[in-house]
Structure 1
Amino acid sequence: MQKGISTAAGLVLGFALDRVFADPRRWHPVAGFGSAAAALERKTYADDRRAGAVHEAVAVGSVVAVGALAVRGGVLATALATWAVLGGRSLARAGHAMADRLDAGDIDGARELLPSLCGRDPAVLEAGGLARAALESIAENTSDAAVAPLLWGAVAGVPGLLGYRAVNTLDAMIGYRNERYLRFGWAAARVDDAANLVPARVTGLLTAVLAPVVGGSAGAALRAWRRDAGTHPSPNAGVVEAAMAGALGVRLGGLTQYRHGVETRPTLGDGPAPGAADLRRAVVMSEAVQLGALVSAVAVAVLRR
């Protein structure tokens, strides 16, 4: 029980650090891991699933080992690891900044900001497409950048925090279904799907429960989730995006152009396409869900034996 209380205290302190300081602008540990993973890829790359699995095991295993050593640091180590892997505050700031630029009619500025939220090609998007892309990214990253790290930290402490962020970062780097990574990135994509299976559904439930915060209803969020999530190509993004669409009363999905290609995404939710005002509501929803996830993670950590 004492270990669980220590973990819970570290999660709360790290969450508070993220609220106050957001992501460090320089020397970010996640950026450092990305550079190391890219260097490793130059040694391990082959157009083969087995090579990708080795790459995943070495990169993630190394980070988990570091986390296991850092456990000795107690509350402080957990707090610093939590701060390093959370991205909730930066996500909210980027969402508000995007809404501000859209409200001001600054399409060029909004396009410039979009890469900080997602990997879509901003050059082909107008105001409506930018609002939808940003809102879908906020929904997905509420789970990936906040809920999932907190839950993994509650269950597995510092190794869980760092290991999850390594898994998620590798998926962002090599999990694309393009020619280079179709086979090499297969393991990274599948491991990320597994790591987010429970957190995405916790995010969906919290979104439904907290929908009244933004004037929505739990029933609408749950209906959109049940009806639409399974049509999405991702087993996890579909859940959180559909729940968010239902909670906000907007329609997501449609033609989606990434730098690596074009995908036609299924329709999620009912109602009009989102605008800047809906994007602001999504940020409020995201921050409420993040707080709910912290409460849930603290409960799991304290009860864990």
Structure 2
Amino acid sequence: MGTAANAGGGLTFALGGLIAAFVIDWYVGDPRRLPHPVVGIGKMIVAVEKGLRALVTSPRMLKWAGVGLVVVIVGGSYALVWGLLWAAAYFGHQLFAWLVAVWLISTTMATKGLSDGGMDIYRKLAAGDLVSSRAALAMVVGRDTDRLDEAEISRGAVETVAENIVDAIISPLFYAALGGAPLAMAYRAVNTLDSMVGYKNERYEHFGWAAARFDDLANYVPARLTGMLLVAVCYAFGWNGQACLRVMRRDAGLHPSPNSGITEAGVAGALGIALGGTNFYQGIPSQRAKMGDPLRPIKAEDILKTVRIMKLVALAGLVMCVLLALIVHLVV
């Protein structure tokens, strides 16, 4: 897993660490009783933002302050993890450091969390409980959910599972394969920055610009690799791979994100449904371009199908990233 991240060196530790982290995330996820590094990253972001805003106010300087925020948070996250693993190996044991690295990498992924969130919504919809399913959806999306019907709840769940295949699974795996726990955590810092300050509103239009652009850049290659995995999974496991590829090529660019549209459009094509439409945020309508062909209405079962697709893409992504880690280990 790369220098200090390897914590024990050797190809077996490097590849075994990646697989072990994936398995931990798949079966255990993020227990609430354990501290989570993303919480610490979030607190760092709040503190640094407060300090920077006290120093600058002009739009131009706010943009530069936003660049500084990205450098401090992303660089700091990398350095802290590298230092922690170095200390664990130096003062403890290589195996202990490897275990710490495995745990840290597992916290950068959210396969179980994404699956559990989608399945919770599905089960409540299947039971006919619209009130509880709206509340469950509100836990994973930012849009208003209090008046949504079954089709709109299902659409929201499908969209959030599909778009998060990249940044919650494949991107962390990709960066862990390239640079172990330090680089995986640096990626998670990038993603957390985007989720906290990367908004196009009055407060963050200038200050959050760098965070949003850096997140787009960090996910660019993983998103396109995920698109290829998605098409392959659909062909291999009975979903419409041809439509997945066709709609992905046609509609991915309609999404506000240059990366999230790839998986959303691909899932829409594979399932023969249309995603996008009108969402409400604090009562204000926001129109999202349609992706896919509305061959049939969206229903609760589409959430189940999307979760299954997500898990298969995750497994395919693990194989891909293990091979990538093998190449990196042999070349570097």
TM-score (norm 2): 0.87
The answer to whether the 8 A contact 2:118-2:157 is kept is yes
Alignment of 1:77-226 (within 5 A): 77-212=100-235, 215-226=238-249
Counterpart selection for 2:50 from 20, 32, 42: 42
Q: Which residue of 2 aligns with 1:254?
A: 277
Counterpart selection for 1:61 from 61, 75, 80: 75
Q: Does 1:277 align with 2:301?
A: yes
Q: Which residue of 2 aligns with 1:239?
A: 262
The CA deviation string for residues 164-219 of structure 1, in whole angstroms up to 9 with x for no partner, is 00000110111111111111111110000000001111111111111146631221
Identity of counterpart residues, as a percentage? 39
Structure 2 letter corresponding to 1:295: V
The answer to whether the 8 A contact 2:105-2:180 is kept is no
Q: Does 1:24 align with 2:1?
A: no
Shift of 1:152: 0.7
Q: Does 1:294 align with 2:314?
A: no
The 4+ residue runs of structure 1 with deviation greater than 6 A are: none
Structure 1 residue matching 2:278: 3-state secondary structure: strand
Whole-angstrom distance in 1 between the partners of 2:202 and 2:299:
34
Q: Does 1:8 align with 2:32?
A: no
Q: Which residue of 1 aligns with 2:94?
A: none
Shift of 1:22: 1.1
User: RCO higher in 1 or 2 (8 Å CA, sep ≥ 6)?
Assistant: 1
Whole-angstrom distance in 2 between the partners of 1:261 and 1:60:
33
Between 65-74 and 10-19, the greater mean CA deviation after superposition: 65-74
Q: Which residue of 1 aligns with 2:290?
A: 267
Between 50-59 and 26-35, the greater mean CA deviation after superposition: 26-35
The CA deviation string for residues 124-147 of structure 1, in whole angstroms up to 9 with x for no partner, is 422221111111110111111111
Shift of 1:83: 1.2
Whole-angstrom distance in 2 between the partners of 1:262 and 1:32:
34
Structure 1 residues 231, 4: closer, same or farther in 2, change over 3 A?
farther
Whole-angstrom distance in 1 between the partners of 2:182 and 2:104:
9
Between 55-64 and 24-33, the greater mean CA deviation after superposition: 24-33
Structure 2 residue matching 1:254: 3-state secondary structure: strand
Whole-angstrom distance in 1 between the partners of 2:224 and 2:112:
21
Q: Which residue of 1 aligns with 2:93?
A: none
Structure 1 letter corresponding to 2:322: V
Shift of 1:261: 5.2
Structure 1 letter corresponding to 2:69: H
Between 235-244 and 206-215, the greater mean CA deviation after superposition: 206-215
Whole-angstrom distance in 2 between the partners of 1:96 and 1:102:
10
Structure 1 residue matching 2:100: 3-state secondary structure: helix
Q: Which runs of 5+ in 1 are unaligned?
A: none
Structure 1 letter corresponding to 2:141: C
Structure 1 residues 180, 262: closer, same or farther in 2, change over 3 A?
farther
Structure 2 letter corresponding to 1:168: N
Between 178-187 and 106-115, the greater mean CA deviation after superposition: 106-115
Whole-angstrom distance in 2 between the partners of 1:12 and 1:212:
25
Shift of 1:235: 0.4
Between 225-234 and 42-51, the greater mean CA deviation after superposition: 42-51
Whole-angstrom distance in 2 between the partners of 1:121 and 1:34:
24
The CA deviation string for residues 7-35 of structure 1, in whole angstroms up to 9 with x for no partner, is 22111111111122111213222122212
